[in-house]
Amino acid sequence: MPQEPKKKHSKGRKRTRRAAISLEAISLVKCSHCQAPTPSHVTCRSCGFYAGKQVNQKTTAVITKA
């Protein structure tokens, strides 16, 4: 059988604990190559550059109507 709590935790105590569990806004910086907003220490999603060097090859697919 599982253990039961000895005393009830008040609503204020519960809410105080949960107040520390919050989402933080992501800090964005401008890409040095394309000036797009990108999270720091991450490869740019739009151009594929990181620290002034191309890391990922970005290809643009052209969709034509048949």
Give domain limits for the chain.
Answer: 25-66
How is residue 6 annotated by DSSP? S
Per-residue pLDDT of the chain in tens (66 residues, 90 and over written 9): 789 989 999 999 999 999 888 888 889 999 988 999 999 999 988 888 888 888 877 666 677 876
Do the beta carbons of residue 47 and residue 33 sit within 8 Å? yes
Residue 53: which of 63, 43, 61 has the closest Cα? 43
**Which helix (H) or strand (E) is 16 found in, with range?**
helix 11-19
- The pLDDT of residue 48 is 87
